[in-house]
Every structure is written in C-alpha cells, then in structure tokens.
Amino acid sequence: MIRLRLPATATSWLAIVYSPVIEAIFSLHVLTQPKHHPLQHEWVRSARRLPPELRRRMGEFAWAYEGYVPTLASPAGEYRSFEQELDSLRGLADDQLRVELLRPFALEYPRSPEVLDEQDVRALVLERAAAYGPDAERLVRLTLEDPGEVLRHFIEVLEEYWERAFRQEWERLEPLLADVVTAAGRELAAAGPYAFLSQVNPRLRADRGQGCLWIDKLPDDDVGLAEGGQLVLMPSVYIWPHLGVELDESLPSIVYPAPFMTEQARPRIPPQELLRVLRAVADDTRLRALRLIAEHPRSTQELAQLLNISESALSKHLRIMFEAGILTRGVHKCDRHADVPGWVLDRHLGHSRSPLLLYVAVRRLLELLVPGTRSKESLGAARSTSVFGLRRLRTLRPMN
C-alpha cells in the first residue's frame, strides 16, 4: 500500500490531463503484453499489418514500456500536439534522459545522475538489461554513453508508428478522453478533491482526516506532495486493466483506466435479461419500493406498511425485482438491533444508495442499448479543465 500525503489546504494541487505521446506508448505496451489486455485485442490484430521492420524496432524498445510506461508531464503550458510533445522530449538534458531511461533497471536507487556514475550500480543495470535480452543490453549500454542517441532512435520509432497506425486511432480517442476530462473537472468542482479521488478508481482511497491518498499498489511507500507540487491524474484507454503510479514528490502521477473502458469490461446484459429488467421497473409500486430500499435495507413487513399494500401483494413485486437481478436478500436491523431478513439492492447495480440510483441504472440500460453513447461536451471544454504541458520524461512503477 502506498500513502501519498496531500496538502492541508485545498488549493490547485490536483489536475487532470491526457497526452497523445503517452497514449501511443501505452498502446505499444499493449502490443508487447497482449494477453493482459483482452479489451484491446482488436488493436493487437490491426498491428499485425504493420511493416515487419517497424515491428522489429518496436520490439527493441519493449523494455521501455513493458511493465513501465515513460510519461511526460509538467504543470505549465497548454495541451500539445503529438509533434509538439516530441519536440519537448528532444530538449531534455542528457543527465535527465539517462536517469529516466534507465529507471526500469534501477528502481531501488534515488533519481540522481550521480548514482549512475557508481560502478556497482552500472554493473547491476547492465546485468538486468542483459537478462531482458540482447536488444535491451545494447540500448542500455548506449544510454550510459549517449542517451541522446537512444532517444533519437526511440522518437523515430514513435513517429513511424504514429504515421502508420496511431494517428487515426488518436483521432478516435481524443474526443472520448476530452469528455472524461470535462466530466472529471465538474465532479472535482462539485465534490472536492478528497471525495473525487475516492471515486476515480477502486484502488484509490482519499482520507481527509489523515490528509492522504491511499493507493493499493506495491511496493509499499510513504511520500509527501511537495509544497507547490501537483498530483496529475491521467485517464487512459490503453492502460486498462492496470493502474500506473509514479511517485515524484513535486509531480506524482496516477494513470487510470478511463471510465468508458471500465464500462466495457463489465459483463453485458443479454437481450432477454435486459427486457426482464425493463419490465421489472415498469410499475409504480415497484419503483416506490425500489426508492425506499435504495435509502437502506428494508424488510417486507416495513415496506408493506410504507407502501400501504398487503404483504402478499408486495411479495409478488419483490419477487419480480429479485428475478430481474435488481434486488437481493440481505439482513435488516430493526429498532431493537436484531438482524432480520430484508431486501437490499443487488451490488451489481452500483455502490451508491442515493435515491438517484434508479436514474443511474436506467442510464446504464440506455448505454447498453446504444453502445458508444457519450456526452456531447466540446473538446474545448476539456482543454480548459487543466493547463498541463508535457515536458519531462519519467517512468511509472510496474503496472499490476
């Protein structure tokens, strides 16, 4: 478990961003580990049409994005194009490039150029690279001597991959990610940073009392966000099902699956099941009962009194919703704190017990009926949510 200590004051220490270069690199990770990413199998199949020489060069750099994903982030500037982000990469200093490119093989050491001057550290890095394969060993040796040359080769691979495959894919993805950023910005403004962070991903839990963010990820660590630093959240299509975390004290980053990818991963409701759910909620009595149960678990006797109908009549309605998978049997505490059988919402409907749950469920049904339905927020609105440029090359922790 990782603990990230957050600022006491609710200032602008949280931002949301997406990047064409980073998403392209995530997609390369998918191509090196296709069995871990079943939702992107179509992309894996389409990549087989790429020229063999390009696929070979992509494979040479597999160590750079297989389990580790290099990311660029800086809290300055505007959203940039793919070409502008590559230009920012070219401006990085050799010392910084060397540290970040070799980070996958030296995670236990501080991020310092001086560390890589130590002979025992260099020997360990080369040993680990050799275990990965001859291509990795050759490129790591070259990184120690001339990191700029390695970056030049890496950018050449990215540019050809972009032109032959990912440019068209990004045209499809950018509006989707823009909608995610827009929606996240609104949720952040409405709920505040702590409540918002707890909703981003099941593996994140923000604790306002302790002033920290708990991240369910190894290895264990305890890091504080530096004064004036910012926590970067980055929704991604191709990181699913992983969670990427980089703990830099001034600019920690969390890359998480975009919500629409999580939706795709949910089991689809067969048509007959969908009809059963729709019929189950198409009744005033059942809707009123569902609203009451959404507030907290209730027994059949309590519901009958609140709805002013007989228990036998109510039982028929409850059975219909039970068979449709809307309700399930649970435990209800009466006033004397004794546990008695009761009715609760099925956990697959969602975790909220808000009276608005029914609306959420119906919206979910509409999404199932019309796959790909999304909000019509403008791309410009998403761009105004965050003011992140992309400048620094860094490395995420192993994804799991």
Instruction: Outline which parts of the chain fall under CATH 1.10.10.10.
Output: 271-369
- Using a cut of 0.85, tell me whether the model's pTM lies above it: no
What pLDDT score does 362 carry?
A: 52
Task: Annotate 216-285 with DSSP letters as a single string.
Answer: --SSPEEEEPPTT--EEEEEESTTTT--EEE--SSS-EEEEE-HHHHHHHSPPPPHHHHHHHHHHHSSHH
pLDDT of 21 over the 80 cut? yes
**Pair 10, 17: CB distance under 8 Å:** no
The answer to whether the CB of 5 falls within 8 A of the CB of 215 is: no
Tally of helices (H runs) and strands (E runs) in the chain: 18, 12
Structure confidence at residue 397 (pLDDT): 45
> What's the pLDDT at 58?
93
Measure the CA–CA gap between 71 and 390, rounded to whole angstroms.
Answer: 9
Q: How many CA atoms lie within 13 A of 250 on its CB side?
A: 7
Residue 255 pLDDT > 70, yes or no?
yes
Residues 6+ apart with CB under 8 A from 310: 304
Q: Which two tokens stand for residue 242?
A: 């992983």
pLDDT tens-place string over residues 130-152? 998 999 999 999 999 999 999 99
- Lowest-confidence segment of 64-73, 246-255, 270-279, 389-398 by average pLDDT: 389-398
Mind spelling out the 3-state secondary structure of 103-125? HHHCCCCCCCCCHHHCHHHHHHH
Which is higher by pLDDT, 223 or 178? 178
pLDDT band at 66 (very low <50, low <70, confident <90, very high): low
Q: Which of 94, 120, 26, 116 is nearest to 64 (CA)?
A: 26
**Percent of the chain topping pLDDT 90:** 31
pLDDT bucket at 6, cuts 50 / 70 / 90: confident
Task: Classify domain 271-369 by CATH number.
Answer: 1.10.10.10
Longest dimension (CA), the chain: 83
Length of the chain measured in residues: 400
pLDDT bracket for residue 374 (50, 70, 90): very low
pLDDT beyond 50 at 109:
yes
Half-sphere exposure of 125 (CA within 13 A, CB side): 27
